Amino acid sequence: MRKQIALISMLLVSLLMAQSGPRQAYQFPDIPGYTTLLCDFHSHTVFSDGNVWPTERVSEAWQTGLDALAITDHIEYRPHKDDIVADHNRSFAIASQSLNDWPLLLIKGSEITRDLPVGHYNAIFLTDSNPLDVQNPMDAIKAAVAQGAFVFWNHPGWTQPETKAVWYPEQTQIYDKGWMNGMEIANDQEYYPEAFQWCLDKNITMLGNSDIHGPAIFPPGEHRNITLVFVEESSQKGIKDALFAGRTAVYAKNRLMGREVYLKPLYEKAILIKPAQDLTGQKVKFGIEIYNPLPFDIELTAAGSVPEVQFPEQIVLYSQRSVLLRIKVAKDKNLDGLILPFVVQNVLIAPGKGLDVGIKVN
């Protein structure tokens, strides 16, 4: 007996000492008034058509840098249902068991799954997924809304020619009822510029999610889609409030997309600009060092000229690297307040429209 106790306590100690796998460390900054949380609101497990057990979704969410994950198994499409016999709440319940091990906010959701023109809708912040299992999709969305859920239209261009999103009368019906709270402008490998524009025009919250079905393994240079959420408090309530208020941005395919009101302060907080210095601390004449802590290269294009100043037309701010920008200025030029105008080609504030930024010279 004593031997057994010793063995058990050794096992306990080794569990406590165990080290987790590494976590992707993103350096998206907070913006004034809000904390930036990294979220994925669309994922599947073996309880629908995914190939991963729910607890694994939690550990890999943490390892891929997320602060919050929603598990959103299909209500209607469950190809493993002969082997996995359970109700619609079970995958979330199992995933929740691993939350002691992983500091993650886990959000309960479901995917309401219909052929076009209705399409697929995720409902998140549910309390009970089972009432969504009804014949009429409008009744399913209504049941979700009755629980205070945040409802969004998934992958609006999926299966469409050239993945071009199409807005049908069914979407108008859902939107007019106030049920289309959000929309995916990016899903897995797809990006939907039409959806991006609808979000801006119709005041819909934009999301970019993985819709992951297999294990979260990404080739070098690729990444999990992330919805950046700007919260007042780092909690489920904080995320829900921010989603209903439209405070999001989308990181997909090494591009950042969203409303200018959030992307401008995020960019300005992230990118560090300082006068270049040599080893003795002397300023290099008119040299500027720019550091990009973000996880993707930033592509800048000059947005005009400045009299008596020569500077590069194109600049690449390499991810997590510094670059030195050398500029030529006429001898007696006053540098006070001098700003070089650029457009960020891969930080988009509308489809095809980059964020305007300035590089302060002095």
* Residue 145 to residues 2, 115, 152, 219, 287, Cα–Cα distance (Å): 56, 21, 11, 38, 56
* Beta carbon nearer to Zn ion, 109 or 246: 109
Whole-number Å distance between alpha carbons of 223 and 38 = 13
- Determine the interface stretch with Zn ion among 119-127, 162-170, 217-225, 326-334 (rule: CB under 5 A): 119-127
- Determine the interface stretch with Zn ion among 22-30, 120-128, 160-168, 247-255 (rule: CB under 5 A): 120-128
* Beta carbon nearer to Zn ion, 48 or 64: 48
Query: Taking the complex as a whole, how short is the minimal distance between the CB of residue 72 and Zn ion, in angstroms?
Result: 6
Which residue has the CB atom at the shortest distance from Zn ion?
A: 120
- The values of phi and psi at residue 343, to 5°, are -115, 135
199, 172 in Cβ contact below 8 A? no
Backbone dihedral region of 78: left (phi > 0), alpha (psi from -120 to 50 degrees) or beta?
A: beta
The pattern of x and - marking residues 201 through 220 that bind Zn ion according to CB under 5 A reads ----------x---------
Among 36, 129, 154, 210, binds Zn ion (CB under 5 A): 154
* Beta carbon nearer to Zn ion, 186 or 288: 186
Query: Taking the complex as a whole, how short is the minimal distance between the CB of residue 158 and Zn ion, in angstroms?
Result: 7
* Beta carbon nearer to Zn ion, 154 or 225: 154
Query: Taking the complex as a whole, how short is the minimal distance between the CB of residue 187 and Zn ion, in angstroms?
Result: 8
Query: Taking the complex as a whole, how short is the minimal distance between the CB of residue 191 and Zn ion, in angstroms?
Result: 16
* Beta carbon nearer to Zn ion, 111 or 299: 111
- The values of phi and psi at residue 256, to 5°, are -115, 130
* Beta carbon nearer to Zn ion, 211 or 299: 211
* Beta carbon nearer to Zn ion, 119 or 246: 119
Backbone dihedral region of 143: left (phi > 0), alpha (psi from -120 to 50 degrees) or beta?
A: alpha
289, 275 in Cβ contact below 8 A? yes
Compute the radius of gyration of the chain from its Cα atoms. 24
Nearest alpha-carbon partner for 99 in 61, 58, 43 = 58
Query: Taking the complex as a whole, how short is the minimal distance between the CB of residue 44 and Zn ion, in angstroms?
Result: 6
* Beta carbon nearer to Zn ion, 67 or 111: 111
Q: CB-based contacts of 319: which residues, under 8 Å, 6+ apart? A: 292, 294, 295, 296, 297, 298
- Determine the interface stretch with Zn ion among 6-14, 54-62, 152-160, 305-313 (rule: CB under 5 A): 152-160
* Beta carbon nearer to Zn ion, 102 or 121: 121
- Per DSSP, the residues of 255-296 read EEEE-HHHHHHHHHHH-EEEEEE-TTSPEEEEEEEEEE-SSS
* Residue 225 to residues 66, 207, 209, 254, 300, Cα–Cα distance (Å): 10, 9, 5, 9, 23
* Beta carbon nearer to Zn ion, 119 or 354: 119
- Determine the interface stretch with Zn ion among 57-65, 149-157, 226-234, 328-336 (rule: CB under 5 A): 149-157
The pattern of x and - marking residues 251 through 280 that bind Zn ion according to CB under 5 A reads ------------------------------
Query: Taking the complex as a whole, how short is the minimal distance between the CB of residue 224 and Zn ion, in angstroms?
Result: 14
Among 120, 224, 240, 247, binds Zn ion (CB under 5 A): 120
Query: Taking the complex as a whole, how short is the minimal distance between the CB of residue 49 and Zn ion, in angstroms?
Result: 8
Count of residues touching Zn ion (by CB under 5 A)? 4
Number of Cβ within a 10 Å radius of residue 108: 23
Query: Taking the complex as a whole, how short is the minimal distance between the CB of residue 106 and Zn ion, in angstroms?
Result: 17
Query: Taking the complex as a whole, how short is the minimal distance between the CB of residue 40 and Zn ion, in angstroms?
Result: 11
Query: Taking the complex as a whole, how short is the minimal distance between the CB of residue 362 and Zn ion, in angstroms?
Result: 51
Whole-number Å distance between alpha carbons of 250 and 13 = 41
User: What residues between 89 and 118 interact with Zn ion by CB under 5 A?
Assistant: 111
Strands (E), 43-156: 68-71, 105-113, 120-124, 150-153
Binding site for Zn ion (CB under 5 A): 111, 120, 154, 211
